[in-house]
Amino acid sequence: MTHDELIKKISDILRDKIIEEPPDSEIGPDENLFTKGYVSSLQLLDLVVHLETAFKISIPHYDVSPENFETLNRLANYIQTKIS
């Protein structure tokens, strides 16, 4: 799966399962998902579960950090390492 395909799939999960009122425009790959209000700390737990299911990976709690989850690009990079 390419980086762009990962971003698209993660974005779809956010829009369909996490964000209560998705924006009309696409979420930018480097937009901060937390400061923009797309993901709250409680929704982060749901996001982890949906990502684990969608990509058939396990995400340990110590990997749930801004370095891995702050933007779509960071999420895609993280997931790529897990599925490689």
Number of domains in the chain: 1
32-69 residues labelled b (16+ CB within 10 A) or e (exposed): ebbeeebbeeebeeebbebbeeebeeebeeeeeeeebb
- Interval 56-72: pLDDT, tens: 999 999 999 999 999 99
d(CA 40, CA 54): 20
pLDDT digits (tens, 9 = 90+) for 23-42: 888 999 999 999 999 999 99
Give the pTM.
0.94
CATH number at residue 59: 1.10.1200.10
Residue numbers of the domain that contains 69: 3-19+27-83
Residue 4 CB-density burial (10 A; 0-12 exposed, 13-18 middle, 19+ buried):
exposed
